[in-house]
Amino acid sequence: MRLKLALGLLIALLGTAAGGEEITSGSAFLSPDLRRQQDDPTRNPGWFWVEQGQGLFGRKPGASQACSQCHAEPEKSLRGAATHYPQVDAGTGQLLNLEGRIEQCRVERQKQPAFGYESGELLALTSYVASLSRGLPMDVETRGPAQPFYNAGRAFFERRQGQLNLSCKQCHDGLVGQKLRGDTISHGAGTGYPAYRLEWNGVGSLHRRLRACSLGVRATQFDYGAPEYLALELYLAARARGLPIETPAMRR
C-alpha cells in the first residue's frame, strides 16, 4: 500500500523532472553518516571481502597455479583492468564482465570448477580485483564488436517494463535526487560494485542490485550473469565513463 502511494507520487513527478545532466556516483547520494563510514576503511565492512579476495588470489588450488603465479604484482599488473569491463572476449565473442573474466581464468587456466555467481569466493576475488582500480576512471569500449551489446543495453535501459511500466531511465535519469522508500535515487552508475549493502548485510554484485530494481517495478528478474544484465552493465559503464571506481562502496 505504502509502496503504491510512494510510486504514485513518483510517477506524478515524472512529468516535471528534468534529466540529461552529468552522471554522478551513487556515493554522492548517501547520507553523510553512511558516506563517512564508507570512506573509512576501518568501518567499511566491504574491505573484509577485499582482504579475503587477496588471500584467495595468492592461494594454490590443489595442483593448479595460484592467480598470483600468473598475475605477479597485481597492484601493478591488474591496476586499471576493471575500468575496461564489461568487454567482448576476443576468443568467444561473448560479453564478459569482471566476474566472467575471473571465472574464465578459474575454469580454463586453473582447471578448477567455477566458483558460481554470487558465491563468497567470486565476490571476494571480484572485490579485490576491482579495488586495484580504485580512483581510476571507467573506460569501456562501446564500438566494434561491443556495439550490438551496447545497443541492447541501451534499449533495455529505455524500455518501460513490469507491472509498474517504468523504465530504468525514468528513475535513473528523470527522478535523480528524489526519495523512494528511504533511498535517494542516483544515476545508477554502478561504479562501487561489488558493494556492501546494509539491507543485504553483506557484499553483493551489481547484478544483485539490478535484480532488486527489476523486482521493484515487478518486471522479470534475469539470472545472475544473464546476457540481458551483461548488456545493461555495459551501457551503465559507458554512461559512467570517466567516473572513478569506488569498490568496495557502501549502500543502504
Write out the binding residues for ligand HEC, residues 173-192 only, by CB under 6 A. Answer: 180, 183, 185-186, 188-190, 192
Between CA 26 and CA 23 the distance in angstroms is 9
Phi-psi region of 41 (alpha: psi -120 to 50; beta: other; left: phi over 0): alpha
**Closer Cβ to ligand HEC, 71 or 134, answer by number:** 71
Between CA 52 and CA 154 the distance in angstroms is 35
Stretch that binds ligand HEC, among 12-20, 33-41, 102-110, 137-145 (CB under 6 A): 102-110
Task: Establish if 17 lies at the interface with ligand HEC (CB under 6 A).
Answer: no
Stretch that binds ligand HEC, among 16-24, 41-49, 106-114, 134-142 (CB under 6 A): 106-114
Task: Establish if 100 lies at the interface with ligand HEC (CB under 6 A).
Answer: no
Which own/partner contact pairs does 85-94 have at CB distance under 8 Å and 24+ positions apart?
85/140, 85/237, 86/140, 86/149, 86/230, 86/233, 86/234, 86/237, 87/140, 87/141, 87/146, 88/141, 88/144, 88/145, 88/146, 88/149, 93/145
Task: Establish if 95 lies at the interface with ligand HEC (CB under 6 A).
Answer: no
By CB neighbour count within 10 A (0-12 exposed, 13-18 middle, 19+ buried), where does 75 fall?
A: exposed
User: Which of 10, 9, 36, 35 lies closest to 24, judged by CA?
Assistant: 35
Residue 86 neighbours by CB distance under 10 Å: 29
By CB neighbour count within 10 A (0-12 exposed, 13-18 middle, 19+ buried), where does 224 fall?
A: middle
**Closer Cβ to ligand HEC, 14 or 48, answer by number:** 14
Task: Establish if 52 lies at the interface with ligand HEC (CB under 6 A).
Answer: no
Q: Which of 59, 60, 76, 109 binds ligand HEC (CB under 6 A)?
A: 109
Q: Which of 216, 222, 226, 244 binds ligand HEC (CB under 6 A)?
A: 216
**Closer Cβ to ligand HEC, 140 or 209, answer by number:** 209
- Smallest gap from Cβ 81 to ligand HEC, in A, equals 4
Q: Cell numbers at residue 51, please? A: 582482504
Q: Which of 38, 83, 97, 214 binds ligand HEC (CB under 6 A)?
A: 214
Size of the site for ligand HEC (CB under 6 A): 40
The interface mask with ligand HEC, positions 116-155, x = CB under 6 A, is ---------x---x--------------------------
- Give 122's contacts (C-beta < 8 A, 6+ positions apart): 99, 102, 103, 115, 116
| Residues lying near ligand HEC in the complex (CB under 6 A) | 26, 29, 57, 65, 67, 70-71, 78, 81, 101-102, 105-106, 109-110, 125, 129, 157, 166, 168, 170-172, 180, 183, 185-186, 188-190, 192, 209-210, 213-214, 216-217, 232, 236, 251
